[in-house]
Amino acid sequence: MKNDKQKGFALVLSLVLLLAMSLMGGALIVIASSDHQSNNSSDEYQQTFYVAETALLQAQKSLINKMLGPINVGTGNRDYDGRIFPQNQLLTEDNLLDQSTPCYRSFRNLSRNDDSFRAVEHVREQSFLDLLFPIFNDGNAGLAINSSIDDQDALDREQESIRRYYYEFFSVSSGTSEYKGTGVSLKKGSGTAQRKGTAYKIYGCGMMGDINDPNNPEIIVPLETLIVLSH
């Protein structure tokens, strides 16, 4: 004889199990979504770090080109007549050191109130895509990219993604320093005297966001380095 109190028990148990499985499924979706977002954020930060390193390299390249002379694109040789000695100056309106930029404010050791702060140069709002654009357009250099991206739409999406990254740098002469060249050997009987050089502090930032609104980057990575150039 069946117990009337057990009627409907299977239905209630099924609903409880369905609710538990739904909660577990929802939790797994949330965890997976969170991990995916975290991975994306990590990738974006890493890319911004690489852009910041590019800013330092571009600043070093600019200083070397000033001291040794710019490279003639046509001949590949340096224009020694165009050499100048990079030194701190009150930058003109065309090359103004703007202390209000997010990059400048990222370095706490720099002055915030001195309107006469001098620097060699200050380059802002440089698109990372502009450095890579020749690769996308050159038929030979772009073979690796074009072979890995099947259609033009995917290539356009890649360019739009890179377009979100931009950089800024400025350099400051910090005075005379000993210049120590690199090498693997020393001539027997050589002295220990060092050539004089000038030390330059270089500040660079990689940023991700809208380059049309450079004062509000979503991610900013500030880096600094010191180089010594021989006189």
Residue 85 and residue 200 in contact, taking contact as beta carbons nearer than 8 Å: no
Measured distance CA(111)–CA(107) in Å, rounded: 9
| Amino acid (one-letter) located at 166 | Y
pTM: 0.68
Task: Over range 51-73, report the average pLDDT.
Answer: 87
Measured distance CA(66)–CA(77) in Å, rounded: 14
DSSP secondary structure of 143-211: HHHHHH--SHHHHHHHHHHHTTEEEEEEEEEEEEEEE----S---TT-----EEEEEEEEEEEEEES-T
Q: Which residues are paired to 221 by β-bridges?
A: 206
Residue 166 and residue 214 in contact, taking contact as beta carbons nearer than 8 Å: yes
- What is the pLDDT, as a whole number, of residue 140? 47
Q: What single-letter DSSP state applies at residue 89? A: B
Region for 59 from its dihedrals, namely left if φ exceeds 0, alpha if ψ lies in -120 to 50, beta otherwise: alpha
Measured CA to CA in angstroms, residue 207 lies from 66, 102, 162, 204 at distances of: 26, 9, 11, 10
3-state SS assignment for residue 231: coil
The residue written with tokens 């380095």 in the block is: 225
Task: Over range 24-34, report the average pLDDT.
Answer: 74
What are the sequence ranges of the domains in the chain?
45-180+194-230
- What is the pLDDT, as a whole number, of residue 167? 93
Residue 128 and residue 162 in contact, taking contact as beta carbons nearer than 8 Å: yes
**Is the Cα torsion angle 168, 174, 175, 176 positive or negative in sign?**
negative
Task: Report the range out of 52-66, 67-81, 131-145, 182-196 with the highest average pLDDT.
Answer: 52-66
Measured distance CA(204)–CA(101) in Å, rounded: 12
- What is the pLDDT, as a whole number, of residue 230? 76
- Min mean pLDDT across 112-121, 170-179, 181-190, 208-217 is at 181-190
More confident residue, 157 or 36: 157
